[in-house]
Amino acid sequence: MTQISDFSTTYKPTWCPGCGNFGIGVALRQALVSLDIPPHKLMAVFDIGCNSNGANWLRANVFHGLHGRPLPIGVGCKLANPELEVICFSGDGGALGEGGNHFLHTCRSNANLTYVVHDNQLYSLTTGQAAPTTDEGTETKSTPKGAPDRPLRMLQIAISAGATFVARGLADDIPGLSKLFEAALKHRGFAVLDVLQPCVTLNHINTREWYRAHTYQLAADHDSTDKAKAMALAGEWNGKIPLGIIFREERPTLEDHFSQMKGKPLTQRVAVRDVAALLEQFR
Ligand SMILES: Cc1ncc(C[n+]2csc(CCOP(=O)(O)OP(=O)(O)O)c2C)c(N)n1
Ligand code: SF4
């Protein structure tokens, strides 16, 4: 049986004390244990950002890539070896700014992987510029007179572009978030999980108290197959923000369209090459 300690490395996270990224990391590990997914079966693809500095803290197959680009890397990993559980991680800046195009097209393709967006309403690693999620009028380091643009509603975009599992959780609600992780990992298709994450150092508006006061849990009888209702819920922000599984549907995944994906994973069909000499050139 997989245990939490299986995912431990010798590194300590570099996050500020109280950062919401800690809760996301713990909830993820709990879900992996509960689903008995061991480190060697997990492919974790990280963006660039505070969120993705968690790469050093997770023992698994880990790729720490370019800003905004974890999705195409994750799709490639899944196509090469569908036996891996692929999870990609971004901040809201990486997901909707630098990686916005990849987000749209991964939704369309319904690639069979999970996307976790650490949503703190800012570009945090670069010390607090406005992100595509920042509310209009918010004063930030890059918008001292107030953000001029409208925020993007990530989950509405996800539903309209074709994602087949769309949910939102709170970084501070570890038991609830862990259950959402489990549901997302069990889903066959592109699962988008928006996690509201306090950035205690830079975001003094969307604090953990603010998130608690401005969110509500969807009712147990919420019909997540009702697309029109889901679109309306995914657009709620300026009153109360819904948490839970907002939308879910089943449709063929990207891999289902490729006949060459049938049978053994590609990684087991190609001759294993020793890449040590190649890697040596980049040292
Ligand atoms: C293509 C590219 N653009 C910009 C940067 C600079 N950059 C690095 S991290 C970062 C902010 C990341 O913010 P977000 O994705 O929201 O993650 P957070 O730090 O908030 O977790 C930026 C703009 C970069 N590394 N690469
Ligand atoms: S700056 Fe914000 S997001 Fe980054 S580690 Fe600190 S609290 Fe977390």
| Contact 98 CB / ligand 1 (< 6 Å) | yes
Kindly report the protein residue whose alpha carbon is nearest to atom 5 of ligand 1.
67
Check if the beta carbon of residue 96 is closer than 8 Å to that of residue 156.
Answer: no
201 Cβ below 6 A of ligand 2: yes
Pocket of ligand 1 contains residue 93 by CB under 6 Å = yes
Residue 241: phi, psi to the nearest 5?
A: -105, 125
Q: What residue's CA is closest to ligand 1, atom 4? A: 67
In terms of pTM, does the model score above 0.85?
Answer: yes
C-alpha angle 163-184-15 in degrees, rounded to nearest 5: 105
CA 14 to chain centre: 19
The residue count for the chain: 283
Query: Which ligand 2 atom is the nearest neighbour of the CA of 91?
Result: 3
Q: Which atom of ligand 2 is nearest to the CA of 118?
A: 3
pLDDT at 11: 93
* Residue-level pLDDT at 274: 82
Assess whether the C-beta atom of 16 lies below 6 angstroms from ligand 2. yes
Q: What is the CATH number for 199?
A: 3.40.50.970
Q: Residue 275's pLDDT is what?
A: 82
- Whose CA is closest to atom 7 on ligand 1? 126
Give the total number of structural domains in the chain.
1
Residues facing residue 87 across a β-bridge: 44, 114
Question: What is the structure's pLDDT at 271?
Answer: 76
How would you write the pLDDT of the chain (283 residues) with one tens digit per residue? Answer: 999 999 999 999 999 999 999 999 999 999 999 999 999 999 999 999 999 999 999 999 999 999 999 999 999 999 999 999 999 999 999 999 999 999 999 999 999 999 999 999 999 999 999 999 999 999 999 999 999 999 999 999 999 999 999 999 999 999 999 999 999 999 999 999 999 999 999 999 999 999 999 999 999 999 999 999 999 999 999 989 999 999 999 999 999 999 988 889 988 888 777 888 888 888 7
Whole-angstrom distance, CA of residue 120 vs CA of residue 102: 20
**Burial class of 126 by CB neighbour count within 10 A (0 to 12, 13 to 18, 19+):** middle
Region for 89 from its dihedrals, namely left if φ exceeds 0, alpha if ψ lies in -120 to 50, beta otherwise: beta
Angle at 83 between CA 81 and CA 85, to 5 degrees: 100
State the Cα–Cα distance between residues 152 and 164, nearest whole angstrom: 19
Q: Decide if 111 contacts 100 (C-beta within 8 A).
A: no
Does the CB atom of residue 203 touch ligand 2 within 6 A?
no
Q: What is residue 267's predicted lDDT score, i.e. its pLDDT?
A: 86
User: CA–CA separation, 52 vs 49, rounded Å?
Assistant: 5
pLDDT given for residue 260 in this prediction: 87
SS3 content of the chain, % helix, strand, coil (to 5): 40, 15, 45
| Residues 126-136: tens digit of each pLDDT | 999 999 999 99
Whole-angstrom distance, CA of residue 251 vs CA of residue 188? 9
What are the C-alpha distances in Å from 283 to residues 11, 265, 274, 277, 280? 22, 30, 16, 10, 5
Residue 199's domain spans which residues? 4-280
